[in-house]
Amino acid sequence: MHTYALLMLGGFFLMLMIGIPVAVSLAVTGFLFGWLGFGETLFNLLPARFYGVVGGYQWMAIPLFVFMGVMLEKSRLADDLLDVMGHLAGGLKGGMAIGIVLFGVLMGATTGIVGATIITLGLLTLPTLIRRGYDKSVACGVICASGTLGQIIPPSLILILLSDIMQLSVGTLFAAAVGPGVLLACVYIVYLLVMGWLRPASMPPLPVAERDAVSRRELWVRFFKVLVPPVMLVVAVLGSIVGGVAAPTEAASMGAVGAVLITALSRRLTWTTLKTTALDTGKITALMMFILMTAQVFALSFRGLQGEELIAAMFDKLPGGVNTAIWFLMAIIFVLGFFVEWIEISYIAVPLFLPILINLGVDPVWLAMLITINLQSSFLTPPFGWALFYLKGVAPPSVNIKDIYKGVLPFIALQAITLLLVFQFPSIATWLPKAIGW
């Protein structure tokens, strides 16, 4: 049985390397080795597993949150907000870059869709940053890193999926992610301030003439005008979940309705916008659910082939106890991030190692935050980081892929520093859930 389990893992990664889609690779290896291991019994067990997936009430939150994000992206609220934040922070060395990080925090808390955020930032800010003298790699790096903040700042799809995998409350994970998410944004800002001081030529301030073209009073009026709607939406959605007023699915429906209202108030709600948003939501949700269902085939077969015992035996041979086991999982997730998307990593690596780590007494909420921070790196790590591809698709011809790769490397290191800080100080992730009684 252990031999089949090893061959199953090897076959899965081989199929990935030759370019076969992840969902197909999961299904093929799961069905093949499950049938070799225990015959037709697998097919008798699968219907109940599939029904358990599609019948899960918590999954209703996914299309609703996706709809909220796509609709806000269509409202072009981001365009107005970016322009105002750029002028307010532009007098500082690296100020435009810091404004982009703050924008990433706000968009992460409202849309949470990496592709939409990076494409918006790339189209609106990259040509402007380059024209104003920013180093191309610095500009690319800050756009990619800021665009991925939505993967840790709630409401994040990663947190929703991990809540199911780890059998934790979505509200608990949302509360736990606030500390690490804010910490990561602060680490980015400190880095940019230091770099602006050490290398001012790479991040010059906004020219005085451009800053004076619009009065500060007018800028602040515009700022609050474009800031209030998304902040109110965040408070309504996250506040109701964390405060225990509404379940995640109920809060997600509030978010979806709120996004439609904001788009309508901005006079950008049309039948075409609504139709496009619904189609995009359907595509994203269908892809996630398909991968989720094929992952059930893989997980059921691997467990039946005693794969979990194999993993447990491997952990027993690791020196250093619990901490070594945690960092071993972090290393595997980081390496997988070079080649595989975060959804697949979540359903491949986490279920394999989670039971062993929980048996070793690891706090599952803290572990979920470590995994979430680590999964962010998968968007930035070459050669297959999706953030890199999104930005390259909208970047000016003068920006090549080398500039983008070079730009994200410091931010990958900053994510590693944040991961280390959360590992050393677990209360960063656990204080808020405990404070509100989750």
Give 139-159 pLDDT, tens digit per residue: 899 988 988 888 888 877 788
Cis peptide leading into 180, omega within 30 of 0? no
Instruction: Give the least confident one: 101-105, 108-112, 240-244.
Output: 108-112
More confident residue, 60 or 159: 159
Q: How confident is the model at residue 187 (pLDDT cuts 50, 70, 90)?
A: very high
pLDDT at 310: 65
Instruction: Give the least confident one: 135-144, 287-296, 359-368.
Output: 287-296
| Residues whose CB is less than 8 angstroms from the CB of residue 345 and which lie 6 or more positions away in sequence, other chains included | 333, 336, 337, 375, 378
pLDDT at 428: 93
pLDDT at 116: 63
For the cut 60, the answer to whether the pLDDT of residue 254 exceeds it is: yes
What is d(CA 92, CA 122) in angstroms, rounded to the nearest whole number?
21
pLDDT at 366: 94
Instruction: Give the least confident one: 93-97, 189-193, 272-276.
Output: 93-97
pLDDT at 77: 67
pTM above 0.85, yes or no: no
Identify which of 183-197, 320-334, 376-390 has the greatest average pLDDT: 183-197
pLDDT at 209: 63
Identify which of 163-167, 262-266, 367-371 has the greatest average pLDDT: 367-371
Instruction: Give the least confident one: 128-132, 252-256, 412-416.
Output: 128-132
% residues pLDDT > 70 (the chain): 81
Instruction: Give the least confident one: 25-29, 66-70, 168-172.
Output: 66-70
What is d(CA 28, CA 248) in angstroms, rounded to the nearest whole number?
34
For the cut 90, the answer to whether the pLDDT of residue 169 exceeds it is: no
pLDDT at 111: 60
Instruction: Give the least confident one: 108-122, 251-265, 331-345.
Output: 108-122
Identify which of 136-150, 155-169, 242-256, 343-357 has the greatest average pLDDT: 136-150
pLDDT at 7: 83
pLDDT at 148: 86
- How many CA atoms are closer than 13 Å to the CA of 144, on its beta-carbon side? 36
pLDDT at 218: 73
Instruction: Give which of 268, 274, 236 is closest to 80, Cα–Cα.
Output: 268
Identify which of 154-163, 175-184, 216-225 has the greatest average pLDDT: 175-184
CB 184 within 8 A of CB 152: yes
The total of other beta-carbon atoms located within 10 Å of residue 194's CB is 11
Instruction: Give which of 316, 315, 318, 334 is closest to 372, Cα–Cα.
Output: 334
288-to-11, 60, 62, 294 alpha-carbon distances in Å: 22, 12, 9, 10
Give 380-419 pLDDT, tens digit per residue: 887 667 787 778 777 888 888 788 888 899 999 999 999 9
pLDDT at 220: 75
Q: Could you state, in order of their start, the residue ranges of all structural domains in the chain?
A: 2-435
| Residues whose CB is less than 8 angstroms from the CB of residue 294 and which lie 6 or more positions away in sequence, other chains included | 23, 24, 26, 27, 30
What angle is formed at CA 345 by the lines to CA 341 and CA 349, rounded to 5 degrees? 165
Give 294-324 pLDDT, tens digit per residue: 777 877 777 777 665 666 666 666 676 788 8
